[in-house]
Amino acid sequence: MLLRMYLRWAERHRFKTDVIDSTEGEQAGIKSATLTVTGRFAFGWLRAERGVHRLVRISPYDSQKRRQTTFALVEVMPEADDDVEIELNWDEIRVDTFRSSGAGGQHVQKTESAIRLTHLPTGIVVTCQNERSATQNRELAIRVLKSRLLELELEKRETELRKLRGEHVTAGWGNQIRSYVLHPYQMVKDLRSAYETSNTGAVLDGDLDAFMQAELERLATGRPPSSVADPDDAS
């Protein structure tokens, strides 16, 4: 649902998207996905979406129709441009090849074209399997790995700046930033800016600009995260 939401948001802004990797869940849905979004200020807007998202709904996979709460982590990283100096030490990177697991034509599952790069010092793992050749998957994996290393460096710098400014730095990313409640009522609420709407259908269909704007304004003004409790926490 989140993947579709962001794809529809990008479509609204005429941004180019490409799902470069996806892993199906054990029973249903998607366990993880990696996509690129290309467009003017795409990273600037999407950086407001980083964090843990919570969904509350009646599970379509539960015969007893019980309410279910699920969580998903959204990570947003700038793509490393060709002119950005990020050197990869291949002595610190493990390269694995395997057969693609996704749906496809004759090529899929017959050759080991999927690529997995493991950056040993940081533990970052990048997998690309949606292209037809190992060369293409390797090139995409390298780009994603460079992007993640760049984001890691940017996070270190941001942390140092926060410390210099005397701001509180929260360790970890385990706290939810937004809740999508579809049962017993309809509500999407951002727990940082306190912006909310009952039009859950529009939000899940990609209408995210108001949420992004509210969070970016909060960051720009330096206001602390909202102390307003999640309306569903008491239930």
Q: Which of 27-36, 142-151, 158-167, 173-182 has the lowest mean pLDDT?
A: 158-167
DSSP character string of 1-20: -HHHHHHHHHHHTT-EEEEE
Taking the alpha carbons of 20, 24, 29, 33 in that order, is the dihedral positive or negative?
Answer: negative
Task: Please tell me the distance from the alpha carbon of residue 117 to that of residue 88, in angstroms, as a whole number.
Answer: 11
Pair 115, 125: CB distance under 8 Å: no
* pLDDT of amino acid 41: 93
The strands making up 124-128's β-sheet, listed across from edge to edge, are 93-98, 114-119, 124-128
- pLDDT tens by residue, 20-64: 888 888 777 888 899 999 999 999 999 899 888 999 998 877 778
Task: Report the b/e string of 50-80 with b at 16+ CB within 10 A.
Answer: ebebbbbeeeeeeeeeeeeeeebebebbebb
pLDDT at 162 over 90: no
Token reading at 123:
């533990």
Going by pLDDT thresholds of 50, 70 and 90, the confidence category of residue 235 is very low
* CATH code, 1-76+175-235: 3.30.70.1660
Backbone angles phi, psi at 129, to 5 degrees: -145, 5
* Residue among 220, 169, 173, 223 nearest 193 (CA): 223
- pLDDT tens by residue, 124-146: 999 998 887 888 899 999 989 99
Task: Please tell me the distance from the alpha carbon of residue 217 to that of residue 124, in angstroms, as a whole number.
Answer: 31
1-76+175-235 and 81-172: identical CATH topology: no
Pair 214, 190: CB distance under 8 Å: yes
- pLDDT tens by residue, 213-230: 999 999 888 877 665 555
C-alpha neighbours within 13 Å on the C-beta side of residue 144: 28
Instruction: Spell out the domain ranges in the chain.
Output: 1-76+175-235, 81-172
Q: Which of 55-69, 111-125, 150-164, 201-215 has the lowest mean pLDDT?
A: 150-164
Pair 108, 100: CB distance under 8 Å: yes
- pLDDT tens by residue, 79-114: 765 555 678 899 999 999 888 765 544 444 566 789
Whether domain 81-172 has CATH 3.30.160.20: yes
